[in-house]
């Protein structure tokens, strides 16, 4: 591990590689020095997505042609050397990998994506028994910093069993939301029991992470995964 990137703290399946860029490496939201430095660490150009906080999944079967940017909030692949990538600055990156090391998925999961089922959609697209999938929850805004309104809580109470425990009341009509708890719950309901990560807070660590909620930042970090 270097100050420029975090490596997932999990028991990685064979041949699965992943990293998460910090603000030390630079902004990943567009072409520039940050992406140039990142590219030097990877086997191929990352497959960036046009993210819309939805549940669409891009199936990446080969190293993409230049300029091809799918509209999706998750990507899956079984192809060696294809780099899946998502951009985040408070939303949660969720990495999924088969125990056999032959399939990976990567999801951009803010509250809208989680509610829309982006993690479940990525699991389905991987076509792997969820009991044979390992997950890692990357840096996101933490449960002591992420305040949301009644409308967000209502969405999860309606479509996520056990979501009530992920909310803590603050002021009238507002709640602190534990995105990590929601993700763990939804992964468990989908059959995934091997879950790591969920220990970082982008809002509370301005040295390492950009945060949209904290700074109104337009800069983004990147989560990336590939099969060797």
181 in a domain, yes or no?
Answer: no
Give per-residue burial for 140-178: e unless 16+ CB within 10 Å, then b: bbbbebbebeeebbebbeeebeebeebbeeeeeeebbbb
* Residue 65 confidence (pLDDT): 63
Return d(Cα 130, Cα 174) in angstroms, integer.
Answer: 34
Per the domain annotation, does 64 fall within a domain? yes
* Contact assessment for residue 41 and residue 34, using Cβ atoms and an 8 Å cutoff: no
Instruction: Examine the pLDDT at 179 and tell me if it is beyond 80.
Output: yes
Distance CA 23, CA 2 (A): 12
**162 domain residue, yes or no:** no
In angstroms, the CA 4 to CA 184 distance is 27
Q: Looking at residue 151, what is its pLDDT?
A: 97
Mean pLDDT of the chain: 95
Place of tokens 């990976």: 104
* Domain-located, residue 139: yes
Give the CATH number of the domain where residue 206 resides.
Answer: 3.60.140.10
Mean pLDDT of all residues in 161-179: 96
Q: pLDDT tens digits, residue range 56-95? A: 999 998 766 666 799 999 999 999 999 999 999 999 999 9
**In-domain check, residue 218:** yes
- Is 125 a member of any domain? yes
Domains of the chain: total: 1
Residue 66 CB-density burial (10 A; 0-12 exposed, 13-18 middle, 19+ buried): exposed
Q: At what angle do helices 179-190 and 118-126 cross, to 10 degrees?
A: 40
Residue 59 in domain: yes
Give the domain extent around 204: 5-143+191-227
Report whether pLDDT(1) > 60.
Answer: no
pLDDT for 194 equals 96
| 10 assigned to some structural domain | yes
């Amino acid at each position: 591990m270097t100050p420029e990137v975090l490596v997932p703290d999990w028991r990685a399946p064979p041949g699965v590689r992943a990293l998460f860029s910090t603000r030390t490496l630079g902004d990943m939201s567009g072409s520039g020095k940050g992406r140039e430095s990142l590219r030097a660490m990877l086997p191929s150009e990352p497959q960036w997505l046009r993210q819309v906080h939805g549940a669409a999944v891009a199936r990446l079967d080969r190293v993409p042609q230049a300029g091809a940017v799918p509209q999706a909030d998750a990507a899956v692949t079984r192809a060696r050397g294809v780099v899946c990538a998502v951009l985040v600055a408070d939303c949660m990156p969720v990495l999924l990998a088969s125990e056999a090391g032959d399939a990976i998925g990567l999801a951009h999961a803010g509250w809208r994506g989680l509610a829309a089922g982006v993690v479940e959609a990525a699991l389905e697209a991987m076509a792997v028994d969820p009991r044979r999938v390992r997950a890692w929850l990357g840096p996101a805004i933490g449960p002591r910093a992420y305040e949301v309104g009644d409308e967000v809580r209502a969405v999860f109470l309606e479509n996520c069993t056990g979501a009530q425990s992920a909310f803590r009341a603050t002021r009238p009509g507002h709640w602190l939301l534990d995105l990590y708890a929601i993700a763990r719950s939804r992964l468990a309901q989908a059959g995934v029991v091997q879950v790591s990560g969920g220990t970082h807070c982008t809002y509370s660590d301005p040295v390492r992470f950009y945060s949209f909620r904290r700074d109104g930042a337009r800069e983004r970090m990147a989560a990336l995964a590939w099969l060797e």
